Amino acid sequence: DAMVIQNPRYQVTQFGKPVTLSCSQTLNHNVMYWYQQKSSQAPKLLFHYYDKDFNNEADTPDNFQSRRPNTSFCFLDIRSPGLGDAAMYLCATSRDRPGGGVEQYFGPGTRLTVT
Amino acid sequence: GENVEQHPSTLSVQEGDSAVIKCTYSDSASNYFPWYKQELGKRPQLIIDIRSNVGEKKDQRIAVTLNKTAKHFSLHITETQPEDSAVYFCAASITSGGSNYKLTFGKGTLLTVNP
């Protein structure tokens, strides 16, 4: 039973051509995250939504944008992909609770190739 | 912000031996410490977590210990099996909830269990 779904699983785009990655969840979690993971590195948080509130990491390039039209869906838009943006993009969700500290559920990821 | 250091970066053990991975964190306010296992090309999956009000937690062959005074926590895997081979990430949560909730990951440990 898929809980966090990402589409597509593999995406090839051309240098500078906008691309959108999608994430959906069936968990009804209020927090959704986007991570970038390059080979042999830890996931790097790009931004997250707490309910409808968008929280951008200070070092996330302006080239990366996100939309969350409803609780279930979240999109990652890369406006002008560069070769350095080739990576695995992971979506994750969690449900906040008093006192914090809840599990993040990761999707299978979208592997982005930039040609 | 929070900084998480993880050691070693690679670990090779014989099947049946124990494996220990250690992490330190910098922010004394951190109160949640999960460990994720990531097999090649797959999503990170939570294997165990510990909260700041607990010193040790065990789940079958996996255990995690936390020393809040020293600000370090460790993952212990006993009776290792080849299927334990993966990259393991520790993480720390720096908030008690709300819109700032997020994880800071260590750089990962590549564990290889040799048959």
Among candidates A28, A44, A90, A99, which has minimal Cα distance to B45? A90
> Picking from A62-76, B55-69, B96-110, which range would have the lowest pLDDT averaged per residue?
B96-110
pLDDT at A22 over 90: yes
CA torsion angle A2 A63 B39 A29 (round to 10): -30
The answer to whether A1 and A102 have CB atoms below 8 angstroms apart is: no
Pairing mode, strands A64-67 and A53-56:
unpaired
Confidence of residue A96 (pLDDT cuts 50, 70, 90): confident
Kindly report the average pLDDT of chain A as a whole number. 93
The answer to whether B35 and B88 have CB atoms below 8 angstroms apart is: yes
CA torsion angle A67 A85 A89 A33 (round to 10): -40
Residue from B40, B103, B109 whose CB has the most chain A CBs within 10 Å, to mutate? B103
Cβ of residue A54 closer than 8 Å to a chain B Cβ: no
Cis peptide before A8 (omega within 30 of 0): yes
pLDDT tens digits, A31-47: 999 999 999 899 999 99
Q: Which of A41, A90, A100 sits opposite B32 (nearest CB)?
A: A100
Task: Give the number of other Cβ atoms within 10 Å of residue A28's Cβ.
Answer: 9
Instruction: Provide the 8-state DSSP code for A81.
Output: -
SS (H, E, C) B52-101: CCCCEEEECCEEEEEECCCCEEEEEECCCCHHHCEEEEEEEECCCCHHHC
pLDDT tens digits, A67-80: 999 999 999 999 99
Distance in Å, alpha carbon of B8 to nearest chain A alpha carbon? 14
Confidence of residue B99 (pLDDT cuts 50, 70, 90): very low
pLDDT value at position A114? 97
Is residue B48 helix, strand or coil?
strand
Distance in Å, alpha carbon of A14 to nearest chain B alpha carbon? 23
Distant-in-sequence, close-in-space partners of A114: CB < 8 Å, separation ≥ 6: A12, A13, A14, A15, A81, A82, A83, A85, A86
Among candidates A29, A51, A22, A27, which has minimal Cα distance to A109? A22
pLDDT at A102 over 90: no
Task: Kindly state the average pLDDT of the residues B67-95.
Answer: 94
Distance CA B21, CA B11 (A): 8
pLDDT tens digits, B11-44: 999 999 999 999 999 988 888 899 999 999 899 9
Confidence of residue B97 (pLDDT cuts 50, 70, 90): low
pLDDT value at position A103? 84
Cβ contact, residue pair B95, A109, below 8 Å: no
Q: What percent of chain A has pLDDT over 90?
A: 82
Q: What percent of chain B has pLDDT over 90?
A: 77
Q: Which of A42, A103, A107 sits opposite B105 (nearest CB)?
A: A42
pLDDT value at position A15? 96
Matching residue, tokens 């008690």:
B96
Kindly report the average pLDDT of chain B as a whole number. 92
Cβ contact, residue pair B44, A106, below 8 Å: yes
Distance CA A99, CA B7 (A): 28
